[in-house]
Structure 1
């Protein structure tokens, strides 16, 4: 009996790009036209821009983790696990499942949207003593950690220990770092009022960045406005500075200052997922070099997008690449799905073009700076635009309802300072949340695939 095998479309990653791609494939392809499979360690889409609000307790973790299994109408097969290598020649993706089993997943078309990981440098003690702000677990863990520092400082009889526990350092003056420092500073400022033995003046937040300006993408005026807002709150901002060494109880800045602290939060940029390096293909600053149609030249059926792909920004021109933002990832996901379908049907693919709609930065409370369509806003108008944009970008009505309810409850009832108990276990740091040592080398991928083929 002759059987007809449907084309296999494999999507790697359940971020903005991957999920938008999958949903569009499901809507535009008939069930007998192709099989769609999604590889992701967690069966939810994480709304990354709102992580700082989870860390500060304004939002609950589940409100920004949109379940991929909630609806019964979707037909995509989900493989719980992480892609650790891709053999482009054999058209096989190597996956480590959540049971630690390594399996080979063949494909006819592959869409690589594995996202990014925290960018680190060879700084002594960094990965051992710093926290990141890239995963839901990190945001929840940091909230517990920060509140626990207040509890431990309140219980301590040692003035030096108390002072060190009440100093906090955030490295990275981009959106993630600025919003993290802003939101967590508001949390500690509100919480310390419940600790009558603690001197509020001992709580100090430091925001440092090697760049000469805070959030330069916002422009001179808005960047300066954001800096002034944070400084009025008491956050000490040091530009042109980074850290030279990190320890369990202190951090040394590159300008020679030594800050006694038990909290170092590292948000100094991201790099493409290590999965990209397993392909052995051309990269641009670690991101896979793709054409404007988001396909990999010379490799049939291979597409890449989002943070891990160097997608030409045709709207800007001059060789610019699309920045790793949610705004681009959402639109690239839909566009790459259309190009996959066009390729499958033997039609022409189209290049990706999108003009940036602007930037929003939520600094907590009524403080924000935004630049929608080039219009500079501050204060409440900027806050309305920032939260309106984030709210509208949430994919489901359930997520929108949860986020809006959290915002309203926080505005009316204020913050709460409950620890969930993560700190009772072994302390975790940046290296414990991002499994960067799980990936294969290109040689290991080929050897594994060839070995499996002989068995």
Structure 2
């Protein structure tokens, strides 16, 4: 009798936690578990702004899957199509080859990509904060702007180099603007020819409030902290157009600018669109037990799934946060193991434990278990939460050591230079154009089946 095959798509919070838990739940030889991911690490997304600002090294927030997993096979590639009728996933390996992975049970955790809008120039001149490569690029780019401004004799070019725009007043955008503003404020002291007053950071969001999930009091506190540090926060405003050296806002302002960082929300991975399944606002509709209706053996969770939030009730769905993704990974592992043994999957339920927002240094706002904190107490809670959420002792040690070293010695503002003068776009980093259509998926799956039979 063939050993059942469990295929996990995605190595993020949900995917890694599911695989790790399955290794503990299943007996050796009870099932074959494989995980498909182009990067053999779990990326701790909440700390990417600190990588972009140089507080943390990239290795601190990237947990190698092979350090965590012992009995799970890692398929180094990206899932580009799913055929639920044939129980097959089309994978484009990192070598460029295309292969087909069969499954008996499929756990879809492909995550999300930066949400884009039909704004002229956005696709050419904006970069997100969703990948390790983007964070590294942003750091190099921001320091390069200081170097170029110091070398320029043209006041107009210098003004554009020293003006930065971050779009999105959620956690990612707010933390990115806060951390990078601290970076440039400290770095400019090393440039005698630059006046600190020339550097301007803008945080723009179409919403009327900054981080409304925090509540009015903490949201206002975060807004006040940013403004007192010199960040220009514009609410009820978005970007109308972007060019190589300008960003035009919907209120008519044209800002000289060569840095546009886009964090205005996320959208489910385009892999969702390759399934013949119902979606809600782009996310796969799933039951409370994480199963996809009408797709035999398929579970979906994390950012790509609209998981009912039983703790809130009504029609609420779980927000796309690391907190929910990790716990959904655990729940999916238990459900897969239950189905494998002839049982029934259980509904997922988790009450949100709260929110933490690191604004750099000792400045933060946090809401653990509904308790509103700001300043050093909030920062201790935020960093304690991140250390606990990192999945290995090595990652925790590196992160804690980086924080301590940065607090004591500061930053040397080194620009690596390997991306010097290389343009970057959202598409370059997130590769959202690699997914296949239904007909192409079926052709590849059928061809692979024929080759297997003839062999």
TM-score for both structures, normalised by structure 2: 0.98
Provide the rounded CA distance (Å) in 2 between the counterparts of 1:111 and 1:18.
Answer: 8
Q: Is residue 331 from structure 1 mapped to residue 327 from structure 2 by the alignment?
A: yes
Q: Is residue 21 from structure 1 mapped to residue 15 from structure 2 by the alignment?
A: no
Provide the rounded CA distance (Å) in 2 between the counterparts of 1:133 and 1:442.
Answer: 30
What secondary structure, in the 3-state scheme, does the structure 2 residue paired with 1:437 have?
A: coil
> Which residue pairs with 1:447 in the alignment?
443
Q: Kindly provide the CA deviation profile for residues 120-146 of structure 1, in whole angstroms up to 9, marking residues without a partner as x.
A: 000001010011100000001000000
Superposition deviation, residue 452 in structure 1 = 3.0
Superposition deviation, residue 59 in structure 1 = 0.1
- 2:189 equivalent among 180, 193, 200: 193
> Which residue pairs with 1:273 in the alignment?
269
Superposition deviation, residue 253 in structure 1 = 0.3
Superposition deviation, residue 443 in structure 1 = 2.4
Structure 1 unaligned residues grouped into runs of 5+: none
Provide the rounded CA distance (Å) in 2 between the counterparts of 1:118 and 1:243.
Answer: 15
> Which residue pairs with 1:46 in the alignment?
43
Note the 1:116-135 alignment, pairs <5 A.
116-135=112-131
Q: Kindly provide the CA deviation profile for residues 364-423 of structure 1, in whole angstroms up to 9, marking residues without a partner as x.
A: 011000000000000000000000000110000000000000000001001220001133
Q: Which runs of 4+ in 1 moved over 4 A?
A: none
Structure 2 unaligned residues grouped into runs of 5+: none
Provide the rounded CA distance (Å) in 1 between the counterparts of 2:107 and 2:182.
Answer: 40
Superposition deviation, residue 425 in structure 1 = 4.9
Task: Answer whether contact 1:275 1:439 (CA < 8 A) is retained.
Answer: yes
Q: Is residue 7 from structure 1 mapped to residue 20 from structure 2 by the alignment?
A: no
> Which residue pairs with 1:247 in the alignment?
243
Provide the rounded CA distance (Å) in 1 between the counterparts of 2:273 and 2:420.
Answer: 37
Superposition deviation, residue 445 in structure 1 = 1.2
TM-score for both structures, normalised by structure 1: 0.98
What secondary structure, in the 3-state scheme, does the structure 1 residue paired with 2:447 have?
A: helix
Q: Kindly provide the CA deviation profile for residues 80-126 of structure 1, in whole angstroms up to 9, marking residues without a partner as x.
A: 00000000000000000001101011100000000000000000010
Note the 1:109-148 alignment, pairs <5 A.
109-148=105-144
What secondary structure, in the 3-state scheme, does the structure 2 residue paired with 1:392 have?
A: helix
> Which residue pairs with 1:423 in the alignment?
419
Task: Answer whether contact 1:148 1:423 (CA < 8 A) is retained.
Answer: no
Task: Answer whether contact 1:169 1:265 (CA < 8 A) is retained.
Answer: yes
> Which residue pairs with 2:27 in the alignment?
30
What secondary structure, in the 3-state scheme, does the structure 2 residue paired with 1:70 have?
A: helix
Task: Answer whether contact 1:141 1:422 (CA < 8 A) is retained.
Answer: no
Residues matched between the structures, number: 451
> Which residue pairs with 2:362 in the alignment?
366
> Which residue pairs with 2:400 in the alignment?
404
> Which residue pairs with 1:77 in the alignment?
73
